[in-house]
Amino acid sequence: MSKSKLEYIWLDGYEPTQNMRSKTKIEDNFSGKLEDCPIWSFDGSSTRQAEGGSSDCVLKPVAIYPDPHRVNGYLVMTEVMNPDGTPHVSNARATIEDEDNDFWFGFEQEYFIMDTKTELPLGFPRGGYPKPQGMYYCSVGGLNTHGRDLVEEHADACIAAGLNFEGINQEVACGQWEFQLFAKGAKKAGDEIWVARYLLDRLTEKHGYYIEYHPKPLGDTDWNGSGMHANFSNTTLRTCGSREVYEKICEAFRPVVKEHIAVYGEFNEQRLTGRHETASINDFSYGISDRGASIRIPIITVQKGWKGWLEDRRPASNGDPYKIAGRIVKTVKSAKI
């Protein structure tokens, strides 16, 4: 009889920033298929998702990946449900209206690697700062590159898990990195970002690091913040061949700026200042190849005859990809084209 370790991953009820939780279920002769993952439960009173007198919440498996760090292991992404089978109020995945997977997403997840001893980004000395920004972005060599050991290990783990992992690079600030993931389907895109975050956070446990997803961890300084740029398309954007259509879709975002910012991540006002490759949180703009705009129209999209995608640069690094994708889908569908 073989035994498998199924790591059930879910999002808790903390607001406005949810946290990942997980626990292991041992199954005999498990097939490795999602449909054979049993429904499970947990104590919601310990995660701000239930009261102690009626504490059970239900975990519904929605995606499964091989666990690269365990023999006969699997990572099971789940949705939190109420005991009656309805989605829990904390379950943003269940609100996404993209059942035909017409929407494709490419998320660019930025983050800082922090030293647990100093509680500073890698490369930062105690009581001061390293050399100013300029030489860290896509750098090579020990003088300016910090944390590559963890980053490479994370990339290998994501690929081994079967995630559609597309790349890594060191970012503008010292100790800051980014990875990219692509998925067809808004829900799948969210699943893969959360599982990739899980793998990254789990790896830090053995390195003496932790990951900082705060969008402006260094406060009001001349250091870049961290975002999670959302590249997105649907059939219309991929095939229309029309600048007018692109502009109408961009304009659909203008009247719902507050609704987007509300789900784009906590503390994002500290990052969206109009400096450091961001648009002001108080403005809305779009432009071709403009990294200072709210939405960038990639130059490749224009060169291909207005067939491609858009990039919303406003989401913060700590944003929930389910909420971000769900809001983008809703807004694009509202465009009058």
Q: Select from 327, 323, 329, 110 the least CA-distant residue to 229.
A: 110
Rounded Cα–Cα distance for residues 257 and 293 (Å):
13
Q: What is the pLDDT of residue 1?
A: 72
Provide the 3-class DSSP secondary structure of residue 312. Answer: strand
Q: Do the domains 3-91 and 104-334 sit in the same CATH topology, yes or no?
A: no
Rounded Cα–Cα distance for residues 130 and 200 (Å):
25
Rounded Cα–Cα distance for residues 214 and 330 (Å):
26
Are 236 and 337 in contact by the 8 Å Cβ rule? The answer is yes
Q: What is the pLDDT of residue 53?
A: 86
CB atoms within 10 A of CB 41: 13
Report the DSSP pairing between strands 3-11 and 73-81.
Answer: parallel
Are 313 and 229 in contact by the 8 Å Cβ rule? The answer is yes
Q: What is the pLDDT of residue 208?
A: 95
Print pLDDT tens along the chain (337 aa): 799 999 999 999 999 999 999 999 999 999 999 999 999 999 999 999 999 888 999 999 999 999 999 999 999 999 999 999 999 999 999 999 999 999 999 999 999 999 999 999 999 999 889 999 999 999 999 999 999 999 999 999 999 999 999 999 999 999 999 999 999 999 999 999 999 999 999 999 999 999 999 999 998 888 999 999 999 999 999 999 999 999 999 999 999 999 999 999 999 999 999 887 899 999 999 999 999 999 999 999 999 999 999 999 999 999 999 999 999 999 999 999 8
Rounded Cα–Cα distance for residues 54 and 153 (Å):
41
Rounding to the nearest 10 degrees, give the CA dihedral for residues 135, 124, 150, 9.
-120
Q: What is the pLDDT of residue 324?
A: 98
Q: Is 302 exposed, middle or buried (0-12, 13-18, 19+ CB in 10 A)?
A: middle
Q: Find where tokens 């290998």 sit.
A: 156
Note the CATH architecture for domain 104-334.
Answer: 2-Layer Sandwich (3.30)
Q: How far is CA 94 from CA 70, 90, 181, 265, in A?
A: 29, 10, 21, 19
Strands (E), 164-264: 165-170, 176-184, 209-212, 228-233
Provide the 3-class DSSP secondary structure of residue 284. Answer: coil
Q: What is the pLDDT of residue 183?
A: 98
Q: What is the pLDDT of residue 165?
A: 98
> HSE-up of 180 (CA within 13 Å, CB side)?
13
* DSSP H helix total and E strand total for the chain: 7, 14
Q: What is the pLDDT of residue 245?
A: 98
Rounded Cα–Cα distance for residues 95 and 102 (Å):
16
Domain boundaries along the sequence of the chain? 3-91, 104-334
Rounded Cα–Cα distance for residues 108 and 176 (Å):
13
The CATH number of 3-91 is which of 3.40.640.10, 3.40.190.120, 3.40.50.300, 3.10.20.70?
3.10.20.70
Q: Select from 175, 181, 125, 133 the least CA-distant residue to 150.
A: 175
Are 154 and 179 in contact by the 8 Å Cβ rule? The answer is yes
